[in-house]
Structure 1
Amino acid sequence: MQSIEQENKTLESSLQPLIEKLWKGHLFGAENHRSAIISHYLHSNKIVYKKNAIQYGKEMINGHFAEKMNDKIAEEALQYIIRYNDQIIPFQNPSKPEFTFIDLFAGVGGFRLALQSLQGECIFSSEWDKMAQRTYYANFGEIPFGDITKEETRKWVPEKFDLLCGGFPCQPFSIAGVSKKNSLGRKHGFEDEKQGNLFFHVAKIIEEKRPKAFFLENVKNLVSHDKGNTFKVIKETLEELGYTFYSKVLNGKHFVPQHRERTFMVGFDKKVFKGEEQFSFPELPLPERRIKEILENRADPKYTLSDKLWDYLQGYARKHKEKGNGFGFGLVDLNGISRTMSARYYKDGAEILIPQKDKNPRRLTVREAARLQGYPDNFVIDKVSMNQAYKQFGNSVVVPLIRAIGEQIVEVLKKTPVKKSRK
């Protein structure tokens, strides 16, 4: 009779070909609810996921152990399918959480990293990009659900949580404002199916689930986007849902050696706080970081620009300088800060180049790119290609800035008014 350990080795060995196939593409993507549910179940052990996780496990391993495919075997197989091991996950939810949040448009988890450090428990995550999902899973033990516009994803959003957070993409609106639609007797915002705008999916979740607060991030130019119409609709929509609305453009340079301005929006449910919450954006420290502080001692030669690329960038800069334009590469002052890193950094690294003695300049290493956004050195960065990693950190938030704003939000949440019971 086989021991439990032997049975597990037999199970893992038999499933190995299937596991390799799944990891090549079937576990990640915009419509990945099966693997997302399995990983959320393994990570949280919450009963709400169990039935579906086991059923999806059976579906995935169809043909293996077909003669004895019971729930017990299917559940044991889940950890092998997802390769789950909570002992190697670097960023776990706190053991005694003080508030709950959901992580939308999660990227690689900048919001989550900041809010978990404030004793927040993430109870749902969503990110459609399959490569970002891989990095997120390696660090937090959960494969985020995919496309939030899909009903199969939205139905797994929990009924109760304290804070909704995320950096949604900026898109134009076709009609100038919610109130104008109301005056025309038309459906407004998220109820207008013709809009197709991702913000309205966020608003729909806020309306249905009524979190105590929201915390949103977007590009600096959101306030002027589409002649100010985009920002106006966002503000009006959230206010009409019964939330206060605070916004401010803040710069990540106060925490990392990078000029990075972003628009932040925070709001609190008036039904809970009566509009009397004491919230303000944080007073930011004077910038003190220098780019040389985040550099590795030795960078792999692969990051050094080739003669061909360096000649091209210099020629491109000269051409635009002659025309009076400011376009060109950004050779950083090691005692200063860098330009804003973008998702296109993988193409040539032109906006942030590190000077080298007697050599062509080089790009940031992937680890340096992570540090430039405030990620700690134990953040896992090697589950995707170098180019994908550059995209991920170029799209990310500045983690310590998110934490500083989060501290102010959490202070308000801690003072949630207690409902008086009727006698």
Structure 2
Amino acid sequence: MRFIDLFSGIGGFRQGFEKVGFKCVFSCEINSKCREVYTDNFGEVPFADVSNINPTDLADFDVLVAGFPCQPFSICGKKLGFEDTRGTLFFEICKIIKVKQPQVVVLENVKHLIHHDKGNTLKVIIASLKDLGYSVNYQILNAKDFGIAQHRERIFIIATKGKEFNFSRLKTKFPPKLREFLDETGDFEILDKSEYTLIEYPRKQDSGLLFVGYRNKGTWKTGVRPNTEHLSRVHRQPNRIYSVDGVHPTIPSQETSGRFFIYFRDRDLVRKLTLKECYRLMGFPEDFKSYPSAGESYKQIGNSVCVPVVEAIAKEILSQSLLYDEIKETQRHQESRLLEEVGILVKTIT
């Protein structure tokens, strides 16, 4: 079971697929800092520029995975399909698919891809994959449904040869609490009580977020101000404070300082997440090696894919028998067992 890892970042897809038993035979990432982290953790340097890949030089593989950048397509006067993607990074993915024809393609992107360019971007992606001979299905998945205390919605597009990937078979879990992912001790950045205001009636949102207050901006007042729920609307998301008894908001890619603050009611303190806790909230292992710069590491984490989500997808690719080689191996195994049973039966009769 072999796969290639395009736009690999720091290796979130690879972490998930290797946990299930897949073997990575090629990786590609243009960001030099991400390549450095990838090399430190997986022992190989990813190919740099996807546009310089010659598909015929690639080893055979069963699955292509890619967390690709979102770009608009020019479709004026054209029929939706593979050629409409020319000049984009997605076109580079399609070139590889056209030549290598993997059994499964797994693509990940931000959930707003559905609305990008008034929905045209998603239409072209789906049409292109169908044009290349695939059945296509997609769904928005949330990390909090896969054992991670983070509200992180991403669209996953899965293209297969033959039957469609069945998203309903993915095994989900009840969202855990953020406090289960946090360290008890450490060098924490704690806010002074003069720097934030707690609302009187915290409310848990459908997303699992439990908003409890905000960082003061311009006015420095302490304590709890009654009936201030409306103030959350005039403060930017980075200034919001969330309880450890809910889930964490999406770890962002634009921020270089781990911007979100969390509230411990039992300790009556507000602090930032540590870098280690951010990795944990993406499902990376405890021994994962990060980039020397903390600011760069926060960006890399925010750009990554949540490991348990792609691990669940990898498991279902096998469970749903979407790999031709796996199907053949299962058939060979069943035939071998049948021959053994027939042989035993013949010996018994004679």
Q: TM-score, normalised by structure 2?
A: 0.77
Q: Distance in 2 between matches of 1:322 and 1:358?
A: 21
Q: 1:168 aligns with which of 37, 48, 68?
A: 68
Q: Tell me by how many angstroms 1:418 deviates.
A: 4.8
Check 1:371–1:230 CA distance in 2 against 1; reply closer, same or farther (3 A cut): same
Q: Does 1:249 align with 2:140?
A: yes
The match for 2:294 is: 386
Q: Distance in 2 between matches of 1:198 and 1:165?
A: 14
Q: Does 1:142 align with 2:44?
A: yes
The match for 2:306 is: 398
Unpaired runs of 5+ in structure 2? 198-213, 221-227, 330-350
Over the aligned positions, Cα root-mean-square deviation in angstroms equals 3.1
Deviates more, 1:338-347 or 1:166-175: 338-347
Q: Tell me by how many angstroms 1:304 deviates.
A: 3.5
Q: Tell me by how many angstroms 1:178 deviates.
A: 5.7
Higher helix share: 1
The match for 1:377 is: 286
Residues 66-113 of structure 1: CA distance to partner in whole angstroms, max 9, x if unpaired? xxxxxxxxxxxxxxxxxxxxxxxxxxxxxxxxx000000101111101
The match for 1:76 is: none
The match for 2:26 is: 124
Q: Which amino acid aligns with 1:372?
A: L
Q: Tell me by how many angstroms 1:156 deviates.
A: 7.9
Q: TM-score, normalised by structure 1?
A: 0.64
Check 1:326–1:358 CA distance in 2 against 1; reply closer, same or farther (3 A cut): closer
- Aligned positions, number: 300
Q: Distance in 2 between matches of 1:379 and 1:218?
A: 23
- RCO higher in structure (CA 8 A, sep ≥6): 2
Q: Distance in 2 between matches of 1:168 and 1:372?
A: 21
Check 1:290–1:157 CA distance in 2 against 1; reply closer, same or farther (3 A cut): farther
The match for 1:346 is: 256
Q: Tell me by how many angstroms 1:310 deviates.
A: 6.5
Q: Tell me by how many angstroms 1:285 deviates.
A: 2.5
Q: Tell me by how many angstroms 1:282 deviates.
A: 3.4
Q: Tell me by how many angstroms 1:266 deviates.
A: 0.7
Q: Tell me by how many angstroms 1:309 deviates.
A: 7.9
Q: Distance in 1 between matches of 2:47 and 2:193?
A: 43
Check 1:309–1:207 CA distance in 2 against 1; reply closer, same or farther (3 A cut): farther
Check 1:418–1:376 CA distance in 2 against 1; reply closer, same or farther (3 A cut): closer
Residues 225-263 of structure 1: CA distance to partner in whole angstroms, max 9, x if unpaired? 110000000000110011110100111111200100110
Q: Tell me by how many angstroms 1:123 deviates.
A: 0.4
2:150/2:248 contact within 8 Å kept: yes
1:176/1:233 contact within 8 Å kept: no
Q: Which amino acid aligns with 2:256?
A: Y
Check 1:229–1:384 CA distance in 2 against 1; reply closer, same or farther (3 A cut): same
Q: Report SS of the residue matched to 1:346.
A: coil
Q: Distance in 1 between matches of 2:244 and 2:111?
A: 26
Q: Report SS of the residue matched to 2:75.
A: coil
1:166/1:217 contact within 8 Å kept: yes
Q: Which amino acid aligns with 1:367?
A: K
Q: Which amino acid aligns with 1:144?
A: P
Q: 2:185 aligns with which of 298, 301, 323?
A: 298
Q: Which amino acid aligns with 2:21?
A: Q
Check 1:128–1:218 CA distance in 2 against 1; reply closer, same or farther (3 A cut): same
The match for 1:364 is: 273
Between the aligned residues of both structures, percent identity stands at: 36
1:135/1:384 contact within 8 Å kept: no
Q: Does 1:210 align with 2:112?
A: no
Q: Report SS of the residue matched to 1:332.
A: strand
